[in-house]
Amino acid sequence: MKHGIGILGIAGRMGQMLVEEVAASGAPLAGGVDKSSATGDERRFASVADLAAIAEVVIDFTHASAAASHADALAEAGTAWILGTSGLSLADEARVEAAAARIPVVYAPNFAPGVTLLLSLAETMAASLPAARYDAEIVEMHHRQKVDAPSGTAIGLGRAVATGRGVKLEDVMESGRHGHTGARKEGAIGFAALRGGQVVGEHSLLFAAADEHIALTHRAFDRRAFAAGAVRAALWVRGRPAGLYSMKDVLGLA
Ligand code: NAD
């Protein structure tokens, strides 16, 4: 009988925070996997398959390059998956969707409850503010160790705006502008990424018209906001049918 919560990337910044949050929730920690040899007190498993064989649910904050193999191993084991890793390609996301046909998966670019609300607001605002008048720009800042850009949350905000406008983000995304870019295209969703210091995560969505600006901003001061949300999702997902869920489902906003 499977039991407890497993953590993939247990030696990482999020992994160590998750160990504390699982303990605080009172749920048993099944153990963890990490490719780093950094040791902690937690029980370590040699592979995702070994951990998935005994854990009821695993929380994954690792690296995008691992997402496809994790999808296969967890679907094979029938273990629920809370996926927080960012930087997944569209091909990786297709593997996540394929896994979600066999197991319950909660995939969120940001597990902080405040950001989940921000995503809902972004979609509502984008649906009411015409793209021809209101230029949508997303600015994010993170610590100097972050390896992907724009952040998963920034892309999530972009997707929310695109959904509100009835377009596909990939068709209108303008990221990393440099040099002679030409004038801004009507309906574009722009992204700028700042990296520096130890910023946990800051995101702003700006709707800029000629006569007014509207901005939504979220600042995370502590990774605990993400870890607590991910553990909440792990407790919520137990016993659910296979499917792809978001934090909106977990918070009852879907
Ligand atoms: P980190 O580098 O501190 O930790 C990642 C850990 O994963 C490391 O210990 C690394 O050794 C391990 N790892 C990498 N590849 C692995 C693999 N194939 N198998 C097993 N372990 C592996 O990074 P972090 O700050 O903890 O962030 C991890 C990920 O979570 C990043 O993609 C980050 O963007 C994302 N993140 C998401 C949210 C969210 O709410 N969704 C919040 C914070 C961070």
The full set of domains in the chain, from first to last, is 5-111+223-250 (3.40.50.720), 113-220 (3.30.360.10)
Task: State the Cα–Cα distance between residues 149 and 166, nearest whole angstrom.
Answer: 24
Positive or negative CA dihedral for 116, 118, 121, 125? Answer: negative
Q: Which residue, judged by its Cα, is nearest atom 9 of ligand 1?
A: 12
Give this prediction's pTM.
0.88
Pocket perturbation via mutation, ligand 1, pick of 63, 140, 153 by most ligand atoms within 8 A of CB:
63
Which atom of ligand 1 is least distant from the CA of 87?
Answer: 32
Distance from Cα 210 to the centre of ligand 1, integer Å: 40
126-154 pLDDT tens trace: 999 999 999 999 999 999 999 999 999 99
Distance from Cα 101 to the centre of ligand 1, integer Å: 24
Whether 181 shows a pLDDT value over 80: the answer reads yes
Task: State the Cα–Cα distance between residues 89 and 68, nearest whole angstrom.
Answer: 10
Pocket perturbation via mutation, ligand 1, pick of 48, 72, 86, 144 by most ligand atoms within 8 A of CB:
86
Written as one letter, the residue type at 144 is R
The response to whether residue 61 sits with its C-beta less than 6 Å from ligand 1 reads: yes
Task: State the Cα–Cα distance between residues 48 and 32, nearest whole angstrom.
Answer: 8
Over residues 181-193, mean pLDDT: 97
Written as one letter, the residue type at 247 is M
Over residues 113-134, mean pLDDT: 96
Over residues 175-192, mean pLDDT: 96
Over residues 119-131, mean pLDDT: 97
Mean predicted lDDT score pLDDT of the chain: 96
The response to whether residue 44 sits with its C-beta less than 6 Å from ligand 1 reads: no
Residue with tokens 């997902």: 237
Over residues 23-51, mean pLDDT: 92
Residue 74, pLDDT score: 98
Tell me the Ramachandran region of residue 8: left when phi exceeds 0, alpha when psi lies from -120 to 50, beta otherwise: beta
* Tokens of residue 220, six digits: 């995370």
* Tokens of residue 181, six digits: 């870019």
Give the model's confidence band at 38: pLDDT under 50 very low, under 70 low, under 90 confident, else very high: confident
Residues designated as active site: 142, 146
Written as one letter, the residue type at 92 is D
Distance from Cα 242 to the centre of ligand 1, integer Å: 24
Residue 1, pLDDT score: 83
Pocket perturbation via mutation, ligand 1, pick of 16, 45, 62 by most ligand atoms within 8 A of CB:
62
Beta-ladder partners of 33:
8
Residue 37, pLDDT score: 80
Identify which of 71, 125, 74, 135 has the alpha carbon closest to the alpha carbon of residue 98.
Answer: 71
| HEC string for 150-214 | CCHHHHHHHHHHHHHHCCCHHHHEEECCCCCCCCCCCCCEEEEEEECCCCCEEEEEEEECCCCEE
Beta-ladder partners of 215:
206
Determine how β-strand 201-208 pairs with β-strand 135-142.
antiparallel
74, containing H or E segment? helix 67-77
Residue with tokens 């963890």: 32
Task: State the Cα–Cα distance between residues 146 and 198, nearest whole angstrom.
Answer: 10
Whether 254 shows a pLDDT value over 90: the answer reads no
Distance from Cα 102 to the centre of ligand 1, integer Å: 24
The response to whether residue 113 sits with its C-beta less than 6 Å from ligand 1 reads: no
Written as one letter, the residue type at 146 is K
